[in-house]
Chains A and B, each alone.
Chain A
């Protein structure tokens, strides 16, 4: 598949030696280092329990790392509350279970953080929201509540909600894993367009075809470690590590 050429920018995520052990003793991250450049799309794959979701959740401070260092757009993500909020302003996240606010309509869901966090007026927020609804092809559902939407529609709204903050990085945590097969396509389409527009993305997914299509780089994790990473063609066509070969043979 021909891909448009893209020039990557400077590093925007710099994570060094991240280690995280859960209260039950499971080591979710074991000295993981990852850097992501602007406009780069990094896809993280691996068996369940390999730490890929934890990795993502550490990058916007939903989980704290025990040791290591995370810099996002030159802001250090540490115990400092201000820094944490500053990072979250710049990093959008999409969850497996959508997590839309059920007591708010589609428009209210997308408007809320623009007003509270970005300090926009209702009219300014609505302008952004309307443009985003067009992008996710949901202009007819503005007044619907999440419960009235299909899973795929909910996830598209969740993506729009994150994008409304004008994030510099988007994190996708198995965004299509909870969806009915027929609604996955619409969500992948939105993500694909986002990648083409040059959004910096870190994507955890099980959709290997999709990974191949949009990734610049693939990271394979297991037992809280990065086993192998590389450019997408190289990774899928010529994996280096034995463990990667076995994993790929199981899922492809």
Chain B
């Protein structure tokens, strides 16, 4: 009996991976044991959640995660819309809109995100009476939107000229051409870099903690300050981020596979 195809194909790689993971694990364990640090992992679950007589109560870390997810989801929607509009303005808007779009991109991409968050929170939010949460969402959307717009632009520009011409020749107007012809093809092509951008967004949302938004990193910081469980808490926080970003990447991966079923790229 020969082993199943999956094992034959992935087996050798899997063995190598397990060996490497084992060695790294041993090294890590060895280092941890020789570190003069009183590990108290048993205290960590209580900060994640508690089960009291079967009633689930989220702890500060999970509360923080919800805020992080909230910021990320809102910023993702906003930054994608902002990115798409900026890209389209740059490509087919009037000259004034192109200059405006370009100025926005350069300003946002050439200054640190942290400064942008501070600027929005300390300078603009009193004027427009924005909450810390709203300031964080806005700053992240503006920042990631600039990068998303460059991704959209490259995707749109990668669609062959013939597709525009065929749509025009059939009498489609430019909105119909974008919505029905260009964007469906462009989005399939840029799904991987867009996912990378969404992952960055998840991680960058940690900066919202600097303006007193109680998201995951901020909660971690508070617990560490209270308990000195430095390593346990930060490892846990990192693990939670990893779980979120990995879920995101995997979801998009499967979406992409489904979207591309039966669809291949022919030239032109």
Contacts and interface: CB of A to CB of B under 8 A. Distances in A.
Interface stretch (A5-13, A35-43, A97-105, A195-203): A97-105
Contact of B268 (A61, A97, A165): A97
B67 to A, nearest CB: 38
A98 B268 contact: yes
Contacts, number: 73
A224 interface: no
A85 B266 contact: no
Contacts of B170: 88, 112-113, 117, 161-162, 165
Contacts of B180: 112, 116
Given A102-B265, A116-B180, A145-B264, A88 B162 contact: no
A113 B172 contact: yes
Most A Cβ at <10 Å: residue of B171, B184, B265, B266: B171
A95 interface: yes
Contacts of A165: 170-171
A26 to B, nearest CB: 18
Interface in A106-165: 112-113, 116-117, 145-148, 154, 158, 161-162, 165
Nearest to B181: A101
A117 B185 CA distance: 21
A52 interface: no
Contacts of A113: 170-172
A84 to B, nearest CB: 9
A85 B171 contact: yes
A95 B162 contact: yes
A77 interface: no
A85 B167 CA distance: 11
Nearest to A61: B168
Contacts of A89: 171
B168 A103 contact: no
A117 B264 contact: no
Contacts of B171: 85, 88-89, 113, 117, 165
Given A101-B163, A145-B264, A93 B188 contact: no
A103 B181 CA distance: 8
Interface in B146-194: 160, 162-163, 165-173, 176, 180-181, 184-185, 188
A62 B169 contact: yes
Contacts of B162: 95, 97-99
A103 B169 contact: no
Contacts of A102: 185, 263-266
B166 A147 contact: no
B267 to A, nearest CB: 8
Contact of A103 (B167, B173, B184, B267): B184
A101 B163 CA distance: 7
Interface string B232-268: 0000000000000000000000000000001111111
A180 to B, nearest CB: 14
Contacts of A147: 263-266
Contact of A145 (B168, B185, B263, B267): B263
A93 B166 CA distance: 8
A85 B171 CA distance: 5
A148 B266 CA distance: 9
A99 B172 contact: no
A147 B169 CA distance: 21
28 contacts: A62-B168, A85-B171, A88-B170, A89-B171, A91-B169, A92-B169, A95-B162, A97-B267, A97-B268, A98-B268, A99-B163, A99-B165, A100-B166, A101-B167, A102-B263, A102-B265, A103-B185, A103-B263, A112-B172, A112-B180, A113-B172, A117-B170, A145-B262, A146-B266, A147-B266, A162-B170, A165-B170, A165-B171
Given A99-B268, A162-B169, 16 more contacts: A61-B168, A88-B169, A88-B171, A91-B169, A97-B162, A97-B268, A101-B167, A103-B184, A103-B263, A113-B171, A113-B172, A117-B172, A145-B262, A147-B263, A147-B265, A165-B171
Interface of B: 160, 162-163, 165-173, 176, 180-181, 184-185, 188, 262-268
